[in-house]
Amino acid sequence: MKQCVILAMCLLSLTGFSQEKSFNEVELSISKWIDGTLLTPNALEQPNLAIIIAGSGPTNRNGNQNFLKNNSLKKLAEGLTKNGIATFRYDKRIVKQILNNNVDKDMMFDDFVEDASDVLNYFKALDKYNKIYIIGHSQGSLVGMLAAKDKADGFISLAGAGNNIGDVIIDQVAQTAPMFNDDTKRVVNSLKEGKTTTDYPPALASIFNVELQPFMMNWMTYSPSDIIKELKIPVLIINGTKDLQVSVSEAEVLKEANENAELLLIENMNHVLFEIEGGDLENSKSYNESFRTISPELITGITSFIEK
């Protein structure tokens, strides 16, 4: 009996040891609006650092929104840190504003770029990292490449558009709601010219709400393919073949603009970084399925790029 108890205690001890984290986790406030999580590998004194920038909407540091929890960016950060790369992921400023019930209605796309620059400058000033890379997911791809220019050691576009967001919207509406194609083109052209409009179908209000239009106009002043062309640092462009929001063709536009960039297309990976075996229904449901694991190829691909 005594031997059984000793054996059980040994097994419990081994289990506890195996569950110890291989990294240190610290919460940081970078600026008035930006809070995030820094993960640092235990075994390395001066690791490389990857700053992860979330996509559109009120997306938090883990890749989640109010009713969509997948923890995709948290899983990306932990996967990279387990491979020896420090990571910092942060809530977009609108997340904190919503929590404080103080949303800035005059928020612009450039505010997100300023936030990303503040994060990059903060870590550069610490002088604790070998090299600092930016990983921008979806909308965060354009934000990241603007912040990375002349300051980061490398840039990774993850499910980022290559075309102007206005043209991307026109293409998406043409595919999903072709009856609104002409209206979409008209409104996008007006916004590109710097003119707001109230003349749009109610069905498109989520895209063209009058309060959103100044933000959209600011966003439309940038062409991702033009920006990525100017980057003189190592660039990796990643897209999944089952991304419902950003097609592989967008990644190819970015690659064509920067001939020195590497292109990684991951079979069956969707927009929230999961590998999907089924059709669109499984794909859509996965946005709220935090039990899934993200693509292993994504982790190995980014790790190989950073550690070259």
Domain ranges of the chain: 21-163+224-306, 165-221
State mean pLDDT over 124-153: 97
Write the pLDDT tens digit of every residue in 31-65.
999 999 999 999 778 999 999 999 999 999 999 99
CA distance to 184, 211, 213, 271, 301, per residue, from 193 (Å): 14, 17, 12, 30, 40
Q: What percent of the chain has pLDDT over 90?
A: 85
Residue-wise pLDDT for 95-128, tens only, equals 999 988 888 888 999 999 999 999 999 999 999 9
- Its CATH architecture, for the domain 21-163+224-306, is 3-Layer(aba) Sandwich (3.40)
Percent of the chain with pLDDT over 70: 94
Instruction: Show the DSSP H helices in 42-130 as ranges.
Output: 72-82, 93-99, 109-126
* φ and ψ of 187, to 5 deg: -70, -45
What strand order describes the sheet that includes 23-29? 23-29, 35-41, 86-90, 49-53, 132-137, 154-158, 235-240, 262-266
Looking at 127-204, list the stretches that DSSP marks H as alpha helix, in order from N- to C-terminal side: 139-148, 165-176, 181-192
Residue 9: the pLDDT is 38
pTM: 0.91
Give residues with Cβ within 8 angstroms of 53, minimum separation 6: 90, 112, 116, 134, 135, 136, 137, 140, 141, 143, 144, 147
DSSP secondary structure letter of residue 295: P
The Cα 238–Cα 8 span in angstroms is 47
pLDDT of 105 reads 86
- C-alpha 249 chain-centroid distance: 18
Structure tokens at 207: 């895209």
What's residue 148's pLDDT? 97
Tens digit of each residue's pLDDT (9 = 90 or more) over 265-284: 999 999 999 999 999 999 99
Q: In this predicted structure, what is the pLDDT of residue 16?
A: 42
pLDDT tens column, 170-183: 998 998 899 999 99
Burial of 16 (0-12, 13-18, 19+ CB in 10 A): exposed
Query: Tell me, what DSSP letter sits at residue 20?
Result: S
Kind and range of the H or E run holding 213: helix 213-220
Task: Quickly state the pLDDT bin for 147 (edges 50, 70, 90).
Answer: very high
Dihedral in degrees, nearest 10, Cα atoms 246, 249, 250, 252 = 140
Q: What pLDDT does 17 receive? A: 41
Measured CA to CA, the distance from residue 82 to residue 21 in angstroms comes to 9
pLDDT of residue 20: 62
Distance between CA atoms of 189 and 254, rounded to whole angstroms?
A: 23
pLDDT over threshold 80, residue 12: no
Query: What pLDDT is stored for residue 100 in this prediction?
Result: 87
DSSP annotation of 32 reads S
DSSP lists the bridge partners of residue 132 as 49
